[in-house]
């Protein structure tokens, strides 16, 4: 429709055309008054429509630009400014916002400006941000050795390095030496820290799972065969052995972690804050430290890249307001892919049935309208359905049949609560109408002459569909599927009901057998936006993080959309060539 | 399937090769398999998708299931000689009942018996004398804790634990005698009653009656008594035959050395008031209020926070004036403790509670008011109420009347829940609703009747969901949605505030989004170069793909604080920006006629990059003056009702109307007049040049603006003079997350949707219509507005409907930007809660199968239905439009 080549020339405004120009040769012709001619152009109304369009464009472009700028800027090392106030107080921080304060107009006060400084050092000052009136500021400078420290706990720290200590020995003193020593020692300390953390998380987690598995086996045997059956007794025996093994393994792990942690113990970096207060930070508690005022563009880029890397690859810290979002990315991708795997065959089947097999009639068109409508049913309704039908209905049924032990042992449902499988199914149901509609349109776009040609060559119906219709419709089907994935990746309301968790570090797909854990709850980027943005205890400090997550999510969805467009174009080229 | 004749012999063809004419078996087989698979899979998928609605209905429907009852048993009481009952109770499982009988002399006599309901067999009996009940005249047992009180004929009373005590027996400790017990049955073993509940667990049930040390009121027999538990002790109130009341707070402490229970009690006595002898005494469940009711309907309320000096609060009447009121025959406090149910001789049950409303308030600011009146039983409305029994877990209660009729009533709905099958012809003396509300017991005239009851969801009815309900302690009937609270909280399941919130969100969104989207689509499809359009359309469609959680975050965390700081510029912007655009158009008209066509491609950039920013700047510049002139210099204070008059609000509210009026005047009167007076421009003759006409039109526009402002101001002055104020209606106190923010945030989701579909509808109008119109001499604007838009009207309508459907069901944006307060208020600047937000926040916490859970599913069903209807309408209109577009 939009590609109609003839339309543009017609719709192009043709003002000052023949009807209203003084036409000397044709005096008899009735010509409208200039006023009427002007009114006929409806210029003011055209401007209103144009204004609306401009507003819509400004809205979308502005929104995307805003998200991009705020989201991408989070990790850029902003300069640290040492602000000296008129009353002698000194504060070191990043200026994050400036605004004009309007005084009371009635009193005629002149507007003044003020700036929002991220002061950090929450445990000392009790706040993350502070507003300063510009006229109360005596001086602003950018000291070279001002250091921003991203800590494991307690948020950001701003200060000047003074000493690097190992136990009682002072390894380095003075900003430059400390920094050199820090850069030498920090990677090793971090490595040790990460190793210990990995042991805690993976190895101990595996032991815990073994214990629970043993316990469940005991309960299951008791339920199936009776408490006194040989199977139950054997299971109890096995549990005792497992407990002993786990205890031994725990001791070994304790040894490993304490060796690693001992290696880090005693390494301290002493900082001096702008106010002159002293603070000692453990070396392995420093995630990143940088001196933005010393860094050149490439240095800043390095810090920027490192922080992005941490964001993409690490687990979240501090109630999701710091650290990385890897589990959420993983959960989003896993859920979206499983959803696509579920929705593709069923959507295509339904569309094939509707378009190729069902007899044309009022019932088929009613079904078609109903499916079109279901695409417009609010997602939260699907969420309620998913919770009631999948989790409480199917899930509880599965638990009763196969996972009684979990219910009996610790009252924990296995499938009877939200999880990856149910979330994927719910979203598959939600996006199914989209895929059906898209597939049907793609099938309808295959010219009937091609089908007839195929039949004429003696092909059967399935052969025709398989070799003629489906390949031609594939671009459309893929587009519908990718658009469905884009929608699924950004949907959060139904997921809140069927399995998305605030924090779930156990990935739903991981290296432990059976690799895919459809019953596990998972994290999701879109839910993280809601959670960190609205449930976070310190919303202001978490806001940059939310913008970054938003930026990431919007990028993923935009990429999916662009992939859909690209794929459509590419496949269309490929299959158009096969046309007669 | 094209089938070739399979049996014909190979025919000779041109090339001499014989062609195979039969279909290969595997082709047939795959065909059949594919057909089967696709049909089954396709129909299955479609049915599965359509099942969503059916499932929601299946979950919500039990809410409206009417209560049912089945008579379990009616039979004579096992005690032959004594037929009058002093009290009646049931155990937790509803398998057993226990009762005490009254002797001929009036006191408790005989045995306390535990009876198996299924067959009436006595499982256990203990003589009253051995339990310390000898000479007792009244027994009262409350709640599940089994706290009870006993009053004696000699004027003493005691409190303690009375009732059936259940003890869980682990599976390996079940005694031999009970080994083969079927679920839902009971047996006596070793002097202990063992029951097996419906879930299969065993429990030992025993009759307990542990009474504390007696307190004394006077020498006259106690006629009524009530107890309530309070953190600082048990409150007991006893009434004797002379009308004196004694209130005591009893605390029991177990001596650690001697293991003796030492009770200490403090209290005070109240003499009858103006010679009226009360017959009922009740303590509120929290133990802070005392109600004394005389049988003529006069009653008094005391605050007994300090039991040593009860403060008289008010005297009130039950059932009307002293002359008309029927004699009070039964008084019972309902679950939750705030309401009293009072039955009278005329068969009417009154429910009263204290609330803040009303005229005559007592010293504590409350007044007892009759909130609900249940008329007498159908058929025999005059039969006086004999006894009332409250359910221990909900606001359900049972009443029995003098003619043997029994009813279950619910105090929240004010409706009759159930009338079980009749068992008696005479009045039941005692009623009991089992702790799990699965059993109703009635005893009287020597018989004991038991009904298995299924109350369903008695707190839910069409009226409580959609009507105004007078909830406990409220000043009057209201629409309310409040679902979480403490254990005895009265849940308020009024869907109206949520439906209202949904409508409010949709309305304010559509008010902004519809015009912008449709006008934008008109420009994009009619006045824009296709090459530009091909770029701009996907950009706007990208906005439709933005996750709503992102829009919600931006609206709630970025727009909300921003708009909060500058409400007035935003409000003025709504008027100033269009005005600036119109002014810009009039200036554009002043350009020489030859320039305009050449500049036409630059129109949109000029609008977007010059006029729009200029409009915003103008709005910011004008805002302080508007604030000073209309809102007394401080808009927020004005909204709060501090300072200023109603004038400013009316001006803002009337501006759109007066703008329409001014436009109508200009279009209907001024422009035709101008056309008449300006001479037709004949060749070389006089008449206005285009430039003059443009100037005239600018003057007319400025006049129109002046008229608009003047009209609005006049209207404001007039309405303000009538002492009307828009505050409290359209405007009111500013809350950071409000309808304006939601409208703004949600329009990001709705505008692209409407834009895309409307644009498709406008471009699919056949080109020959456009060509014909332009060829006949119409300008592009005339073509657009008189030919294209009417032809595409149904498509545009369906676009709006689809946008509406999206706005109705949107969850995350309203969840994050609407504040989630379920209030009914048209104020643009307050928050609200929508159906979708309530589902999202409350469904994970609602207990599966509870009324709350099902009501939320009902809300989901309502959303489903609303969007389904809207979308179906849109779809049908769109299909009709497609057919019409083909015909054109």
Q: Does A129 touch chain B (CB under 8 A)?
A: no
Helix (H) or strand (E) holding A571: helix A539-576
CB contact under 8 A, B582 and A44: yes
Better-scored residue on pLDDT, A512 or B875: B875
d(CA B558, CA A63): 11
A483 neighbourhood in chain B, CB within 8 Å: 545
> What is the tens place of the pLDDT at every residue in B505-564?
999 999 999 999 999 999 999 888 888 888 888 788 777 788 889 999 999 888 888 888
Helix spans in B666-689 (H): 671-677
Give me the residue spans of the domains in chain A: 81-142, 164-313, 326-576
> What is the Cα–Cα distance from A337 to A167, expressed in whole angstroms?
51
CB B205 within 8 A of CB B193: yes
Q: At what angle do helices A539-576 and A470-490 cross, to 10 degrees?
A: 180
| pLDDT one-digit tens code per residue, B30-76 | 888 888 888 888 888 788 777 888 899 999 888 888 888 888 878 77
Give the pLDDT score at A551. Answer: 93
What's the average model confidence in pLDDT over A344-348? 91
* CA B577/CA A173 separation, integer angstroms: 62
Collect all residues of chain B within an 8 Å Cβ-Cβ radius of residue A358.
42
Peptide bond connecting A233 to the previous residue in cis, omega within 30 degrees of 0 = no
- At residue A140, does pLDDT exceed 50? yes
* pLDDT at A577 > cutoff 60: no
- Local confidence band at A547 (pLDDT 50, 70, 90 cut-offs): very high
Predicted confidence at residue A54, as pLDDT, reads 92
Kindly state the tokens that stand for A457: 């060559």
Angle between helices A326-352 and A297-313 (to 10 degrees): 60
Chain B interface mutation, best of A102, A335, A380, highest count of B Cβ atoms under 10 Å:
A380
**Closest by Cβ to B554, choosing from A40, A63, A487:** A63
Token couple for B766: 């056949």
Q: Which stretch of A347-361, B130-144, B528-542, B736-750 has the lowest confidence by average pLDDT?
A: B130-144
- Return the structure tokens found at A226: 């009776």
pLDDT band at A20 (very low <50, low <70, confident <90, very high): very low
d(CA A270, CA A50) in angstroms, rounded, equals 61
A7 vs B: CB within 8 A: yes
Q: List C-alpha distances in Å: A441 to A348, A353, B160, B235, B240.
A: 11, 13, 77, 75, 85
pLDDT exceeds cutoff 70 at B17: no
Kindly report the nearest CA distance between residue A265 and chain B, in angstroms. 41
Q: Do B688 and A34 touch (CB under 8 A)?
A: yes
Between chains, do B815 and A357 touch, taking CB under 8 Å as contact? no
The encoded tokens of residue B487 equal 């254990």
Residue B615 — very low, low, confident or very high, per pLDDT cuts 50/70/90? very high
**Mutation site, B578, B597, B779, B844, interface A, largest A CB count within 10 A:** B779
Rounded alpha-carbon distances, angstroms, from residue A201 to A249, A505, A569, B264, B450 = 14, 9, 46, 57, 59
Residue in this structure with the two tokens 């999202």, named with its chain if needed: B840
CB B549 within 8 A of CB A33: no
| pLDDT tens sequence across A424-451 | 999 998 898 889 888 988 888 888 888 9
* Residue A567 reports pLDDT greater than 60: yes
Residue B839 sits at the chain A interface (C-beta within 8 Å): yes
The CATH classification number of B496-566+728-887 equals 1.10.3720.10
Tokens of B334: 């309902």
Q: Name the DSSP class of B128.
A: T
A385: nearest CB among B39, B55, B536: B55
The share of chain A scoring above pLDDT 90, in percent, equals: 9
User: Cα separation of A16 and B595, whole Å?
Assistant: 9
Higher-pLDDT residue of B180 and A385 is A385
Per-residue pLDDT reduced to its tens digit, A295-308: 888 888 988 998 89
Please give the pLDDT value at position B741: 92
Q: What is the dihedral of CA B420, B421, B424, B428, to 10 degrees?
A: -10
What is the pLDDT averaged over residues B450-455?
87
Q: How confident is the model at residue B18 (pLDDT cuts 50, 70, 90)?
A: low
Average of per-residue pLDDT across A40-61: 88
Q: Is the pLDDT of residue B856 over 90?
A: yes
Mean pLDDT value across residues B833-839: 92
When mean pLDDT is compared over A2-16, A145-159, B6-20, B351-365, the highest value belongs to A145-159
**Running DSSP on this structure, what letter comes out for residue B259?**
-
Q: Which of A42, A59, A493 sits opposite B811 (nearest CB)?
A: A493
Per-residue pLDDT, averaged over A133-159, amounts to 85
Check residues A94 and A10 and name the one with the higher pLDDT. Answer: A94
Kindly tell me the burial class for residue B863, based on how many C-beta atoms sit within 10 Å of its own C-beta (0-12, 13-18, 19 or more).
Answer: buried
- Percentage of chain B exceeding pLDDT 70: 92
State whether B688 and A553 contact (CB < 8 Å).
no
What average pLDDT score do residues B455-466 get?
Answer: 85
The pLDDT confidence band at residue A53, using thresholds 50, 70 and 90, is very high
Residue whose C-alpha is closest to residue B304's, from B290, B294, B293: B290
Q: Which of A289-303, B104-118, B539-553, B613-627 has the lowest mean pLDDT?
A: B104-118
Residues of chain A neighbouring B42 (CB-CB closer than 8 A): 349-354, 357-358
Bigger pLDDT: B397 or A35? B397
How would residue B660 be classed by pLDDT, with cut points 50, 70 and 90?
very high
Nearest CB partner across the interface for B770, out of A10, A52, A63 = A10
User: pLDDT, tens digit, for every residue of A209-245?
Assistant: 888 888 888 877 777 777 777 888 888 888 888 888 8
Task: Please give the distance of CA B649 from its chain centroid, rounded to a whole number.
Answer: 31
Name the residue among B449, B469, B446, B365 with its Cα closest to residue B400.
Answer: B449
DSSP class of B16: S
Confidence at residue A65, expressed as pLDDT on a 0 to 100 scale: 92
Closest by Cβ to B675, choosing from A10, A35, A347: A35
What's residue B706's pLDDT?
92
> Residue B799 corresponds to which tokens in the numbers above?
């676009």
Angle between helices B851-887 and B496-526 (to 10 degrees): 20
Mean pLDDT of A458-487: 87
**pLDDT confidence band for B683 (50 / 70 / 90):** very low
- Which residues 171-210 of A have a C-beta within 8 angstroms of B? none
Within 422-461 of A, beta carbons closer than 8 Å to B belong to 429, 432-433, 436, 455-456, 458-461
- The predicted-structure confidence for B119-176, as pLDDT tens digits, reads as follows 778 887 888 777 777 778 888 887 655 788 888 888 888 888 888 888 887 777 777 7
- A326-576 is classed CATH 1.10.3720.10: yes
Q: Do B380 and B330 meet the contact criterion of CB atoms below 8 Å apart? A: no
For residues B422 and B437, what is the distance between their CA atoms, to the nearest angstrom?
19
Contact (Cβ atoms closer than 8 angstroms) between residue A92 and residue A79: no
- Number of other residues whose CB lies within 10 A of the CB of residue B181: 17
Q: Is the Cβ of A358 closer than 8 Å to some Cβ of chain B?
A: yes
A residues 537-576 closer than 8 Å to B (CB): 539, 543, 546, 550, 553-554, 557-558, 561, 565
Strand stretches in B170-221, DSSP E:
185-189, 192-196, 202-211, 215-216
Gap between the Cα atoms of A542 and A540, Å rounded: 5
When CB atoms are compared, the residue of B581, B779, B810 closest to A40 is B779
B45, B512, B618: which to substitute to probe chain A, counting the most A Cβ within 10 Å?
B45
* Per-residue pLDDT at A579: 44
Burial (CB < 10 A; 0-12, 13-18, 19+), residue B83, is middle
Q: Render pLDDT for A158-213 as a digit per residue (tens, 0 to 9).
A: 888 888 888 888 888 888 888 888 888 888 888 888 888 888 888 888 888 888 88
**Who wins on pLDDT, A279 or A28?**
A279
What is the rounded CA–CA span in Å between residue B478 and residue B115? 45
pLDDT at A28: 44
pLDDT of B773: 92
Check residue A230 and give its pLDDT: 81
Q: Measured between CB atoms, does A66 come within 8 Å of chain B?
A: yes
- CB neighbours of A384 closer than 8 A, spacing ≥ 6? A497, B56, B839, B843, B856, B857, B860
The DSSP letter of residue A201 is I
B539 touches chain A (CB under 8 A): yes
Contact B612 A51 (CB under 8 A): yes
Averaged over B802-809, what is the pLDDT?
Answer: 89
Are B777 and A19 inside 8 Å of each other by CB? Answer: yes
- C-alpha distances (whole Å) from B260 to each of A121, B156, B159, B256 are 60, 21, 16, 8
Q: What is the CA radius of gyration of chain A?
A: 33
Residue A16, pLDDT above cutoff 50: no
Of B547, B678, B875, the CB nearest to A34: B678
pLDDT on residue A2: 38
What chain B residue is nearest to A461 in terms of C-alpha separation? B1
Interface test with B, best of A18, A31, A49, A547 (most B CBs within 10 A): A49
Token digits for A223?
């339920």
Residues in A touching B522 (Cβ below 8 Å): 49
What is the distance in angstroms between the CA of the first residue and the CA of the last residue of chain B?
Answer: 36
- Judge: B558–A554 Cβ closer than 8 Å, yes or no: no
Nearest-angstrom CA–CA distance, A194 and A114: 42
Structure ipTM = 0.85
Q: Please report which confidence band the pLDDT of residue B22 belongs to, taking 50, 70 and 90 as the band edges.
A: confident
Encode pLDDT of A320-339 as tens digits.
777 888 889 988 988 898 99
How does the average pLDDT of chain B come out, rounded? 83
Of B526, B585, B688, the CB nearest to A47: B585
* Cβ-defined contact of B49 to A429 (cutoff 8 Å): yes
- Quote the CA–CA distance of A514 and A525 in Å, as a whole number: 25
**Residue B190 pLDDT more than 80?**
no
Q: Does B43 touch chain A (CB under 8 A)?
A: yes
Helix (H, G, I), strand (E, B) or coil at B374: strand
CA angle B342, B345, B347 (to 5 degrees): 75
pLDDT digits (tens, 9 = 90+) for A363-419: 888 888 888 888 888 999 999 999 999 888 888 888 777 777 766 766 677 777 778
Q: Kindly indicate the confidence band of residue B604, based on its pLDDT and cuts at 50, 70 and 90.
A: confident
- Which of A22-26, B115-119, B625-629, B786-790 is predicted with the least confidence, judged by mean pLDDT? A22-26
**Domain residues of chain B, as ranges?**
496-566+728-887
What is the pLDDT at residue A260? 84
**What pLDDT score was predicted for residue A290?**
87
Given this model, what pLDDT does residue A88 score?
Answer: 83
Q: How confident is the model at residue A384, as a pLDDT?
A: 92
Query: pLDDT band at A542, cuts 50/70/90?
Result: confident
- For tokens 């202001």, what's the residue? A540
């Amino acid at each position: 429709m939009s590609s109609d080549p003839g339309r543009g020339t017609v719709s192009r405004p043709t003002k000052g055309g023949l009807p209203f120009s003084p036409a000397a040769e044709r005096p008899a012709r009735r010509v409208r008054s200039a006023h009427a001619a002007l009114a006929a152009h409806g210029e003011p109304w055209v401007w209103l429509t144009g204004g609306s369009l401009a507003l819509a464009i400004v809205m979308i472009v502005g929104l995307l630009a805003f998200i991009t700028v705020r989201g991408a800027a989070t990790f850029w090392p902003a300069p640290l400014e040492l602000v000296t106030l008129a009353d002698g107080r000194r504060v070191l921080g990043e200026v994050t916002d400036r605004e004009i304060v309007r005084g009371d107009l009635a009193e005629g006060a002149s507007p003044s400006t003020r700036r929002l400084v991220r002061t950090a050092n929450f445990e000392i000052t009790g706040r993350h941000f502070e507003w300063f009136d510009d006229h109360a500021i005596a001086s602003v400078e950018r000291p070279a050795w001002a250091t921003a420290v991203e800590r494991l706990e307690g948020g950001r720290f701003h200060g000047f390095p003074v000493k690097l200590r190992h136990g009682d020995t002072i390894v380095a003193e003075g900003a430059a030496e400390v920094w050199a020593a820090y850069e030498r020692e920090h990677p090793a300390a971090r490595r040790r820290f990460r190793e210990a953390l990995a042991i805690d998380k993976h190895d101990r987690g595996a032991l815990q799972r073994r214990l629970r598995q043993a316990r469940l086996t005991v309960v299951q045997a008791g339920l199936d065969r009776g408490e006194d059956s040989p199977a139950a007794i054997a299971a109890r025996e096995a549990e005792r052995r497992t407990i002993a093994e786990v205890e031994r393994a725990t001791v070994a792990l304790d040894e490993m972690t304490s060796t690693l942690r001992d290696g880090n113990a005693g390494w301290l970096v002493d900082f001096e804050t702008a106010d002159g207060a002293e603070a000692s930070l453990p070396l392995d508690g420093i995630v990143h430290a940088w001196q933005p005022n010393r860094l050149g563009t490439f240095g800043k880029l390095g810090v920027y890249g490192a922080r992005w890397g941490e964001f993409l690859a690490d687990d979240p810290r501090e109630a999701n307001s710091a650290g990385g979002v890897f589990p959420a990315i993983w959960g989003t991708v896993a859920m979206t892919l499983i959803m696509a795997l579920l929705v593709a065959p069923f959507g295509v089947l339904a569309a094939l049935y509707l378009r190729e097999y069902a007899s044309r009639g009022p019932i088929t068109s009613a079904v078609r309208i109903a499916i079109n409508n279901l695409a417009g049913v609010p997602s939260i309704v699907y969420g309620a359905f998913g919770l009631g039908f999948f989790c409480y209905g199917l899930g509880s049924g599965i638990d009763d049949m196969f996972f009684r032990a979990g219910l009996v042992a610790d009252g924990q449902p296995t499938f009877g609560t939200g999880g990856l499988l149910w979330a994927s199914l719910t979203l598959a149901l939600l996006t199914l109408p989209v895929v059906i509609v898209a597939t049907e349109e793609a099938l309808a776009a295959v010219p009937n002459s091609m089908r007839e040609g195929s039949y004429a060559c003696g092909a059967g119906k399935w052969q025709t569909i398989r070799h003629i219709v489906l390949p031609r419709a594939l671009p459309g089907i893929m587009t519908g599927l990718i658009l469905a994935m884009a929608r699924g990746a950004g949907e959060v309301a139904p997921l809140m009901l069927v399995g998305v968790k605030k924090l779930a570090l156990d990935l739903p797909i991981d290296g432990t057998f059976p690799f895919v854990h459809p019953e596990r709850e998972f994290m999701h980027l879109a839910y993280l936006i809601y959670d960190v943005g609205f449930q976070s205890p310190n919303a202001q400090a978490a806001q940059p993080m939310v913008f970054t997550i938003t930026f990431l999510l919007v990028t993923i969805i935009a990429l999916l959309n662009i992939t859909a467009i690209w794929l459509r174009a590419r496949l269309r080229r490929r299959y158009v060539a096969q046309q007669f | 399937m094209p089938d070739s004749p399979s049996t014909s012999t190979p025919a000779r063809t041109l090339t001499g090769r014989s062609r195979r004419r039969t279909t290969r078996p595997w082709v047939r087989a795959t065909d059949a398999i594919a057909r089967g698979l696709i049909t089954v899979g396709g129909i299955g998928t479609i049915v599965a998708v359509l099942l969503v609605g059916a499932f929601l209905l299946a979950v919500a429907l039990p809410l409206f299931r009417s209560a049912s009852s089945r008579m379990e048993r009616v039979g004579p009481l096992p005690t032959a000689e004594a037929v009058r009952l002093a009290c009646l109770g049931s155990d937790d499982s509803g398998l057993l009942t226990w009762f005490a009988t009254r002797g001929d002399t009036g006191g408790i006599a005989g045995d306390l018996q535990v009876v198996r309901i299924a067959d009436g067999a006595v499982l256990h009996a203990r003589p009253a004398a051995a339990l310390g009940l000898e000479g007792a005249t009244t027994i009262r047992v409350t709640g599940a804790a089994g706290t009870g009180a006993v009053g004696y004929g000699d004027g003493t009373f005691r409190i303690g634990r009375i009732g059936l005590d259940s003890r869980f027996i682990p599976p390996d400790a079940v005694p031999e005698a009970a080994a083969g017990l079927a679920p839902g049955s009971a047996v006596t073993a070793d002097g202990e009653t063992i029951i097996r509940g419906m879930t299969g667990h065993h429990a030992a049930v025993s009759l307990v009656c542990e009474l504390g040390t007696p307190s004394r009121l006077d020498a006259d027999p106690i006629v009524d008594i009530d107890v309530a538990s309070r953190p600082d002790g048990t409150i007991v109130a006893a009434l004797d035959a002379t009308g004196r009341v004694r209130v005591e707070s009893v605390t029991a402490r177990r001596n650690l050395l001697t293991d003796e229970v030492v009770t200490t009690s403090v209290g005070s006595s109240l003499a009858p008031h103006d010679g009226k002898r009360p017959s009922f005494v009740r303590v509120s469940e929290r133990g802070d209020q005392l109600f004394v009711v005389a049988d003529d309907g006069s009653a008094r309320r005391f605050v007994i926070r300090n039991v040593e000096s009860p403060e008289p609060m008010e005297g009130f009447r039950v059932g009307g004036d002293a002359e008309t009121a029927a004699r009070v025959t039964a008084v019972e406090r309902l679950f939750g403790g705030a309401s009293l149910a009072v039955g009278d001789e005329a068969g009417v049950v009154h429910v009263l509670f204290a609330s803040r409303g009303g005229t005559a308030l007592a010293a504590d600011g409350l007044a007892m008011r009759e909130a609900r009146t249940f008329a007498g039983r159908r058929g025999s409305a005059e039969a006086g109420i004999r006894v009332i029994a409250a359910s221990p877990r909900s606001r359900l209660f049972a009443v029995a009347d003098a003619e043997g009729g029994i009813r279950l009533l619910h105090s929240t709905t004010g409706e009759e829940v159930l009338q079980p099958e009749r068992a008696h012809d005479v009045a039941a003396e005692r009623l009991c609703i089992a702790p799990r509300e699965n059993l109703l017991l009635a005893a009287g005239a020597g018989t004991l009747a038991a009904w298995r009851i299924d109350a369903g969801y008695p707190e839910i009815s069409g009226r409580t969901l959609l009507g105004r309900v007078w909830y406990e302690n409220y000043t009057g009937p209201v629409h309310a949605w409040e679902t979480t609270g403490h254990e005895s909280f009265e849940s308020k399941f009024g869907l109206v505030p949520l439906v209202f919130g949904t409508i409010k969100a949709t309305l304010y969104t559509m008010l902004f989004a519809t015009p912008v989207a449709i006008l934008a689509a008109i420009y994009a499809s009619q006045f824009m170069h296709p090459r530009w359009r091909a770029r701009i359309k996907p950009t706007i469609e990208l906005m439709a793909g933005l996750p709503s959680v992102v829009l919600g975050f931006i609206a709630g965390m970025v727009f909300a604080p921003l708009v909060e700081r500058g409400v007035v510029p935003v409000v003025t912007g709504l008027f100033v920006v269009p005005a600036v655009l119109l002014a810009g158009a009039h200036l554009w008209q002043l350009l020489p006629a030859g320039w305009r066509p050449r500049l036409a491609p630059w129109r949109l950039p000029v609008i977007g990059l010059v006029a729009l920013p200029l409009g915003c700047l103008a709005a910011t510049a004008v805002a302080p003056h508007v604030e000073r002139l209309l809102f007394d210099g401080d808009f927020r204070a004005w909204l709060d009702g501090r300072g200023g008059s109603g004038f400013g609000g009316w001006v803002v509210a009337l501006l759109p109307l007066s703008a329409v009026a001014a436009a109508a005047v200009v279009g209907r009167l001024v422009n035709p007049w101008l056309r008449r007076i300006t001479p037709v421009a004949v060749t070389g003759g006089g008449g206005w040049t285009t430039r003059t006409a443009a100037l005239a039109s600018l003057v007319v526009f400025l006049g129109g603006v002046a008229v608009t402002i003047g009209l609005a101001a006049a209207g404001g002055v007039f309405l303000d003079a009538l002492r009307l104020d828009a505050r409290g209606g359209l405007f009111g106190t500013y809350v950071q997350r409000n309808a304006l923010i939601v409208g703004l945030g949600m329009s990001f989701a709705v505008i692209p949707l409407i834009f895309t579909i409307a644009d498709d509808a406008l471009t699919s109008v056949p080109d020959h219509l456009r060509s014909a119109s332009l060829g006949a001499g119409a300008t592009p604007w005339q073509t657009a507005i008189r030919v294209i838009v009417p032809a595409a009207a149904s498509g545009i309508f369906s676009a709006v409907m689809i946008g509406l459907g999206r706005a109705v069901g949107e969850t995350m944006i309203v969840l994050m930007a609407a504040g989630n307060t379920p209030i009914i208020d048209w104020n643009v600047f307050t928050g609200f809660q929508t159906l979708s937000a309530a589902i999202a926040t409350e469904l994970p916490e609602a207990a599966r199968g509870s009324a709350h859970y099902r009501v939320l599913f009902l809300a989901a069903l309502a959303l489903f239905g609303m969007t389904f209807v809207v979308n179906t309408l849109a779809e049908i209109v769109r299909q009709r439009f497609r057919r019409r577009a083909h015909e054109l």
